[in-house]
Amino acid sequence: MTTTRIFAAPWMAVTLGIAATATAWGQQPQPSGRAIFACTDANGKKLTSDRLIAECMGREQRILNADGSLREIIPPTLTGEERAAADAREREVAAQRAARLEAARRDRGLVARYPDEASHRKAREAALDNVRRNVKLSEARLATLANERKPLLADAEFYAGKPLPAKLKAQLDANDVSTEAQRALLANQRDEMARVEKTYDDELARLKRLWAGVPPGSPELASASASAPHK
């Protein structure tokens, strides 16, 4: 057995040396009191010392008490790439934990806002009423534009094969532009109606699980929203 021995006196100086070495190598300070560091290096040699062993910084090191009993195990020192990967995993775990807490907070708020299905249905209808009203206005505006276009088209028939008068052409062009804009607006409003319906469908699927006793923030609730029927 190859043994690395370092002698220093008094013992306090040795302890300070251990702490300084640990700090320099990115390790946390070691516990106070006489200790023996032991490890097996890359060549299979067993090494011991009264401080962290440089040859084993990439390997596990054991801290032994004076009687040979195990006090602590120091894991291998990570490389820069390994440390970055470990930090990334820690950040991912922390982000997942935060997401669960936020989901639980939202679920508690959802149940407080909608204690039963009737209250949720009432909120859905209130949200849809506003969109439906806008859809009806757009449909009415399109009907008006269509009626306004009829006499313009009748006048245009007198000029078949001839250039239209500037005023008539401008009126037809304006009608075309207004009609196209109104159709685009109506399409957006219908998309909004579908979005509102989907939002309330997802909420209802989640609420049914919450009302049944599933804990707020539970992963089980995500599957409920994903499988909710969409209109």
* Contact (Cβ atoms closer than 8 angstroms) between residue 210 and residue 110: yes
Residue range(s) defining the domain that contains residue 62 = 11-74
User: Which residue do the tokens 């043994």 mark?
Assistant: 3
149/215 same-domain check: yes
Q: Which residue has the higher pLDDT, 181 or 11?
A: 181
Q: d(Cα 36, Cα 203) in Å, to the nearest integer? A: 61
111/190 same-domain check: yes
Task: Answer yes or no: is 199 within a domain.
Answer: yes
Please report which confidence band the pLDDT of residue 106 belongs to, taking 50, 70 and 90 as the band edges.
very high
Q: State the pLDDT at residue 80.
A: 77
124/162 same-domain check: yes
Task: Answer yes or no: is 123 within a domain.
Answer: yes
Task: Answer yes or no: is 176 within a domain.
Answer: yes
pTM: 0.55
Task: Answer yes or no: is 142 within a domain.
Answer: yes
Burial 1-15 (b: 16+ CB within 10 A, else e): eeeeeeeeeeeeebb
Q: State the pLDDT at residue 22.
A: 43
Q: Count how many domains the chain has.
A: 2
Whether residue 151 has pLDDT greater than 60: yes
Q: Which residue has the higher pLDDT, 128 or 66?
A: 128
168/220 same-domain check: yes
Task: Answer yes or no: is 79 within a domain.
Answer: no
pLDDT tens digits along 115-133: 999 999 999 999 999 999 9
110/20 same-domain check: no
* Contact (Cβ atoms closer than 8 angstroms) between residue 4 and residue 40: no
Q: Of all helices (H) and strands (E), which one includes residue 64?
A: strand 61-64
Whether residue 177 has pLDDT greater than 80: yes
